[in-house]
Amino acid sequence: MDTETDDVQRNRQPAREVDPIDRKILGVLVDDATISYAELGERVGLSPPAAHERVKRLRRSGAIRATSAIIDPKAVKKPLLAFVHIDTRGWGKTPELMAISECPEVEEIHSVAGDTCMLLKVRTEDTRALEGLLSRIYETPGVVSTRSYVVLSTYLERPVQPDITAEWPAPRHMATPVY
């Protein structure tokens, strides 16, 4: 197993561009980070030490933020997923609101453009726990209202993918933008 003792967050290099081989490596490791460097090297056309060197660099540069176990929510008794939109009075990102980061039920906190201020992704055991979390949110100063979208089924859920769609089909009926 790769025991990386080097700094991961500090010492960001000036971010040498991620080349195509790096992208392939990322693609493989996003899919399964438990493979050996021998196998990784074989899949991207490098020797084990070279593959290792690349991965170390990707970690150091911060391109690979972490290597994590992905847990089945049901296995840890959190079958209920919801997205909570929060309207706030004034600026939404207050320390009081950020404090809910401590709840392990809260997985994401974003500020968004559009008609709401903050957007949360939360995962709870049941509707009762969701209610508890919402009441906790309502107690936060500045919170005006919330709208919750409870997920019925999840059809896709995966980490950030390294690939990018090269070209989008020219939208029909669309004028050519200036920029």
Partner DNA sequence: CATAATGGCCGAATTAAATTCAGCATCAAT
Partner DNA sequence: ATTGATGCTGAATTTAATTCGGCCATTATG
- State which of positions 11-40 bind DNA (CB under 7 A): 16, 21, 36-38
Measured from the CB of residue 108, what is the shortest distance to a second copy in angstroms?
5
Q: Which is nearer to DNA, 48 or 73 (CB)?
A: 48
Reference 4, options 64, 71, 48; nearest CA is 64
163 near a second copy, rule: CB under 8 A: yes
Contact status, residue 106 vs residue 122, Cβ threshold 8 Å = yes
99 binds a second copy (CB under 8 A): no
Rounded to a whole number of angstroms, the minimum distance from the CB of residue 12 to a second copy is: 10
Helix (H) or strand (E) holding 88: strand 80-88
**Binding partner selected for residue 54 from a second copy, DNA, none, CB under the kind-specific 5 to 8 Å limit:** DNA
Element holding 91 (H helix, E strand)? none
The reply on whether position 75 binds DNA by CB under 7 A is: no
Radius of gyration of the chain (CA): 21
CB 68 within 8 A of CB 8: no
Do the Cβ atoms of 78 and 122 come closer than 8 Å? no
CB of 7 to DNA, least distance (A): 14
Residues that bind DNA (CB under 7 A): 1-4, 16, 21, 36-38, 41, 45-50, 52-54
